[in-house]
Every structure is written in C-alpha cells, then in structure tokens.
Structure 1
C-alpha cells in the first residue's frame, strides 16, 4: 500500500480543538479528575451533567446530550456505573431503545437498539470482532498501514505522532476493511456528518460484494444471515450495512486514534516505563490496558431511564438521563490503589474503558490490535524515539473526547 494522505487535511479533521470536536468540549484544557474525585466522594449520583458538575458552563453535545427537556443525573463511582451497565432494561442506551429505523447513521444503528433485536444484529457482526479475528485485521489491514506510515517518517529524524501516525491508523484500517482506496479514506472521514456522502462511496462496493464476495468486512456483512421469530431467514439490507459502517467509522476512527495518542503520551513522559517496554515487549499490552483505565478517551457515556427508580439513594424519574462518568469510575480508589498513578505493573482488573454489559464496545479487540501493532512497530523501527525537547510537550485535553495535543518526537 502506498499512502497518499494529505497530511494537512488529516490535521484539520483530527484536531481536538477544531470545529469538528469543539461541541464535545475540545477546548477544555484543565484536569477534570480532581473535580471528579470530589464528586465521587460526596455522593454516588448527582443531579446535573458531568460537564456542568465539573465547572463547564457552555452547552456541550455528546451521547445523552443535550436533551434539554429531560432531567439529568451523573454517576462517578465504579460500582454505580457498573450497576447501570448491568441493567439495560432500566438504563437503556437510547431514548427509545428500539430497532434500526429512520435515516442512515449511528442513530439508526445497533448502538440504539435494545433487547432481542440488538442481540440479533450484534450476533451477525460480532464474529468479525472477536479476539481470534484480531490476526485477520492485523494481516489484512493494520500491519501494512502501520509500516507504510512509519516508512513516511523514518528518514526524517523527527515527527509528530498524534495526528500524522495515530490518527491515520484506524481510518485506513476501517476504510481498508470496506474496500475503500486510500485516496478516498479522508473523504469518508469528512463525510461522517453527511451519511449520504458515505453511502455514495460505499454503495458500489456493497453492490459488488453482493455479486462477488471478497475477504473483507463488507463481504461479511452482505453474507450475514439471521432467522426471525417466525423462522424466516433474512440478510442485512443495504441501509443496515450503511448504518453499521457509519457507526464503525464514527466510533472506531476517533476513539482508537485518541487512545493510542494517550498511551504514547503516557509512555513518552515516563522514560523509565518506555525503557522497560522497549526491553520487554510483553509489557506493551499492560501498558495499553493501564492507559485505558487511567485516561479513557471517552470518559462519559449515558443511559436513558425507562422507569421511575431509586438508584443508589437518588430517585431517578422515567425519561431522565443518567450520565456514567467512566473516567472517574476508572480511578475509583475503592477499586484501585493509587488510582491517579499510571502504573503498568498494577494487578489487572477490568475497567469500564470499553463500557460493559450488552453494549460493550464491539470493536475493542480491533482497537487493541491497532494499538499493539502500531506502538510495537514504532518502538521496533524507531527504538530511540523520545519527546522532542525543543517542542511543546503533549498535554491531555478535552471534556467528552479526551486526547493528546501534538506529540512531537525525535528518533535521530
């Protein structure tokens, strides 16, 4: 694969502080964790949204927001967030938790489905995202993408890793799995707010795979079958495939990029840990898992309350929104010692970085494969990589989509 990415366009589309992400709090540059620690210590559940309780006054948009006509509550502890995830009947992933209907996009994907319909649709695509399929993703798309990107920077002695490396990997991986050429990858990213434009790119590919399947994800989707309650066998419609594709692009191309940048920032700012990972590559996996716990890129997701209930001492009326601050939950001192410390040697415990329950992130194993392959190859080929002492060091910013600013490095 020869990459033909327009780097200036990549930087525009993947700027945490740019117009694309400003509505989610991309301009927030403080450390939210002290406020979250305080809130968690005060009570399991608070009235209000996470950003308001953190001290951000301007309205923000994210999962479960803004919904100004609904009461809002927020939870900050591990047990309370985990309990909500485990009760999808009371705490639904969407206002209606119904099947996929309406316009193409994430609002009509299985992200908003509930119950048997969600289980059926998820079961169709899940086989392509189980741990055993990680090598399929690595072999077909991830490995080639990673090494092509390193080829472009290896001879320069310095680089910016967050956008020029991390951001490009998931976009090229996902679009590659769709059969989209590299030249069109950024067109898809730019079109995510206009799903119709994504359909224009995907429609001929879906049609071609219905005629002649290949070894890619679109072929898996067009061949997937399910049996309804009457025993009738169905395949996914074109619109259902488009909605799932938009969901995968929206969820996968942003989160993995930012989480990889967070992990690299954590390692590069701690040379002793980076040295240990370089000397023993088996430590890379726990380094990634610890970064997911320590600073998940999406530190909040929401659930819609379906019936009047009392939850950890707080009455929640039907129709209200419960925001689960998983960033705070992942640093709950009742579950982890020294929770603010990035410690790759801590005993492993599941965190909520990928959610929990029926809507656990479908692509989490692909995301892990991208991060393991990308960071591992970077350290293999640029073993002397380090932060550029002459450049501004990276910082973690953002409210609902947290990530690193530019990660300038040298490896000469």
Structure 2
C-alpha cells in the first residue's frame, strides 16, 4: 500500500468539501445556479454598484479576495469588455491597495498575489520559468503521474469510487507539497494550516535550510537559488521570509483551485456519456473539453481590484479607493464574445477566456493545472473501463459562490 492510499479520507472531506465549515466563508453553502442572475445583471448593465454576492442574492457575508473591505464603495463588473479594460490597466485597477512588505510573513495577501508594477514583475520572473508550458512535463514526471496512479490503485479493484474527494481533491495538494519536498504524511497538515501561516512556515523551515545546503530538483530549490534584481540593479538571493511567502501563495492557489476545476470538468463529461466515450476514443478532444469547462464554469468566478484614481468604466464612474469585483463567470458567458455561451460545447471555436484571470496577474500555475486535469482524467479513462455515474447514488451538483465546485462524484466502472 502506497502513502497516498492511506490518506485520511474524512480529513480530506473536511478540507475540500465546499459545504464544510472550513470552506463556508467563501459561500460554500450556496447551492443555487448563479448564472441566470449574472446574465440578467450583464444584460442590464456592464457595471453595477454592490458586491457580486449581494447582487446575486446570496443571503450572508461571503469573504474572498477584495472582501469584506466595509469602509470602501464596492462595484461589480459583468461584461467581457469591462473585465478586459480592467485587466489591461493594472495601474488604475490594482491588485492591492498598498505595497507589499516582503520582510514579513503574514499570509497569502502578503505575497506576489498582492504586488503591483515593478515589484510584481521582478518577483514573478523568479518563478515563471518553473510554470511555463514546457515545464509541464517536469511536473507530470516528478509528481503528478505518480500521485494520479497511486490514487487510482486505491480504488481500481472496488468497481466504484467517489472521485471528488478520493481523487480530484488529493491530486493538487500532493502535487504542490511534493514540489516543496514535503512528505505525503504532512501534506494535509500543511493544507489545513492555510489560515495559520506561521505553522506552515515551521514545516517549511527545515526544508528551506536543507535546500540551501544541498539543492534538489524541486520548487524550494528553485526559490533558494533564484536571484532577485532590485530596482537599483543589485541582485540578492531570496530571504527565508520571501521564500515562505512564495510557498504560501503556491500552496493556496495550487491546492485550492485545481481540484474544484477538475471536478467540474469531470462532472460535465460524466453527465454527457456520449461525449465521454468520444474523448476515450479520441484523446485530442480532451484539451478542448477542459478549455470549455474552464470557460463555462471557472472555479473562482470573481476576483477584485482596487481603484487607484477616479475613473469611468463602461459608463459607470468609480471613485478612487473603491473596490471593483470582476465577475469572471459572467464575462465568460458574454454573448458578445461567444455564441450560445450557456451551453457546454467542446466543438466551439476556442477563444481565450478569463478562467485564469488576465493581465500581469494571470494565473501563474495555469499550465500545471491543465496538466493535472488532463493527466488525471486521462488516467481514469485508461484504467477504469465503462466509467459512468453511479445510477443508484445522488448525482453531483454544482455549488458555491466565490469558490465553485461539485458535491460528491459517485461513479461505477467495470
């Protein structure tokens, strides 16, 4: 029995079920379909005053990037054109209201995610080479493939499985912690401590120290050996605090989004057995199936920007200091860009969507995410004959407000 097969399934369920208390703050208990409301909002105007969840009708407080910020005016954009303008103007629509202090470690907001301008460009350039498309094979060979097949080994002989927790949720967290050099036994400890960053720092401290002494072929070694060029032209190696901030961001993003998107994609295909059969016979169709799922239902359908000066966006005046919430989910179904946008159609002409955001902050790990999803679904099709939804179990449902995913994915095979 491999290490991945002895992962605590109930603990994974607590950490990765959107309905659990661990995920409730992002609106994990939202079970309605938000897309009809987003369509009405987009049709009535590209930009509205208020937050996305308030305008959608979510009855409660939902926290996410750019929220709650109770002392600032809030606006939300729903059209593709409005989001395109905001992403193309990062000086006016900034990722953070203030500069990031890299000498301390205080969580994900104190990382590259919140940096802007030259600071963001310099820090992103350090890790970008490890996340370009050509590096996908490095991730697949070192961590993804072994994790995927080890997980399948755990249920392949049973004839049935629950793929959201037993498969989708485990792959990304094991991939990113494997890239850190963290053993499988500590992977869930690290994920659970996301809201307690200093605990993660303590887990990483001996790894960083060891890699400074003897670098290996992993992500922490990349960070340890990276050289940052300051604004005055001098270079220096990253401090421990800078490495910890990078690692916190990569753990948050790497283990917190891909599992949901993989579950969304897998569910969309399982609900369309004829399409799943076509992909099994012709794997060239898997990539457009993944890209269409990203457009049709991105797992994080909203991110926010801070308005740095008075500006007009698509006819709405936004005051300096306000927060603009970019509803990626609505923009990705804008009929001004896609025909029949509410349909999941893998044959449509492929056009770039905002599934991974846009502009300078476009998702760093998007190619790794694609590699995880394609490797995972491909392996399921290779190893589980006649894979299908369990007809005797409750079918999966799409849920969540600012983090969208699916409930259990019960399948049978053989």
Q: Which moved more, 1:2-11 or 1:307-316?
A: 2-11
Structure 1 equivalent of residue 115 of structure 2: 113
Q: Which of 2, 5, 8 does residue 6 from structure 1 map onto?
A: 8
What SS does the aligned partner of 2:306 have?
strand
Could you report, residue by residue, the CA deviation over 1:212-268 in whole angstroms, capped at 9, with x for unpaired residues?
Answer: 000000000000002223332111111111111111111110100000000000000
8 Å contact 1:99–1:118 — kept in the other structure? no
What SS does the aligned partner of 2:257 have?
helix
1:50 offset after TM fit, Å?
Answer: 0.4
Large movers: runs of 4+ above 4 Å = none
What SS does the aligned partner of 1:73 have?
strand
1:339 offset after TM fit, Å?
Answer: 0.5
Give, in whole Å, the separation in 2 of the partners of 1:97 and 1:344: 41
Map 1:222-261; keep pairs closer than 5 Å: 222-261=224-263
Structure 1 equivalent of residue 220 of structure 2: 218
Give, in whole Å, the separation in 1 of the partners of 2:124 and 2:241: 16
Unaligned runs of 5+ in 2: none
What SS does the aligned partner of 2:191 have?
helix
Give, in whole Å, the separation in 1 of the partners of 2:162 and 2:91: 45
Map 1:172-187; keep pairs closer than 5 Å: 172-187=174-189
Q: Which of 40, 43, 54 does residue 41 from structure 1 map onto?
A: 43
Could you report, residue by residue, the CA deviation over 1:315-359 in whole angstroms, capped at 9, with x for unpaired residues?
Answer: 100000000000000000111111010001110000000000000
Map 1:133-152; keep pairs closer than 5 Å: 133-152=135-154
Could you report, residue by residue, the CA deviation over 1:116-163 in whole angstroms, capped at 9, with x for unpaired residues?
Answer: 010000000100000000000000000000000000010000000001
Structure 2 equivalent of residue 325 of structure 1: 327
When the two structures are superposed, what TM-score results if normalisation uses the length of structure 1?
0.99
What SS does the aligned partner of 2:147 have?
helix
Give, in whole Å, the separation in 2 of the partners of 1:72 and 1:102: 29
For the aligned residue pairs, the C-alpha RMSD in angstroms reads 0.9
1:383 offset after TM fit, Å?
Answer: 2.9
8 Å contact 2:103–2:242 — kept in the other structure? no
What SS does the aligned partner of 1:409 have?
strand
Give, in whole Å, the separation in 2 of the partners of 1:318 and 1:103: 28
Call closer, same or farther: CA 1:322–1:101 in 2, change over 3 Å.
farther
Structure 2 equivalent of residue 276 of structure 1: 278
8 Å contact 1:76–1:326 — kept in the other structure? yes
Give, in whole Å, the separation in 2 of the partners of 1:101 and 1:397: 38
1:8 offset after TM fit, Å?
Answer: 1.2
1:57 offset after TM fit, Å?
Answer: 2.8
Give, in whole Å, the separation in 1 of the partners of 2:52 and 2:3: 43
1:59 offset after TM fit, Å?
Answer: 1.3
Map 1:157-176; keep pairs closer than 5 Å: 157-176=159-178
Structure 2 equivalent of residue 405 of structure 1: 407
8 Å contact 1:129–1:362 — kept in the other structure? yes
8 Å contact 2:15–2:23 — kept in the other structure? no
Structure 1 equivalent of residue 95 of structure 2: 93
8 Å contact 1:264–1:375 — kept in the other structure? yes
Structure 2 equivalent of residue 386 of structure 1: 388
What SS does the aligned partner of 1:239 have?
helix
Call closer, same or farther: CA 1:101–1:209 in 2, change over 3 Å.
closer
1:373 offset after TM fit, Å?
Answer: 0.5
What SS does the aligned partner of 2:83 have?
helix
Give, in whole Å, the separation in 2 of the partners of 1:104 and 1:222: 20
Structure 1 equivalent of residue 291 of structure 2: 289
1:103 offset after TM fit, Å?
Answer: 3.0
Give, in whole Å, the separation in 2 of the partners of 1:350 and 1:331: 12
2:126 counterpart of 1:130:
no
1:311 offset after TM fit, Å?
Answer: 1.2
What SS does the aligned partner of 2:75 have?
strand
1:96 offset after TM fit, Å?
Answer: 1.4
Map 1:71-86; keep pairs closer than 5 Å: 71-86=73-88
8 Å contact 1:104–1:239 — kept in the other structure? no
Could you report, residue by residue, the CA deviation over 1:278-320 in whole angstroms, capped at 9, with x for unpaired residues?
Answer: 1101110110000000000000000000001111111100000
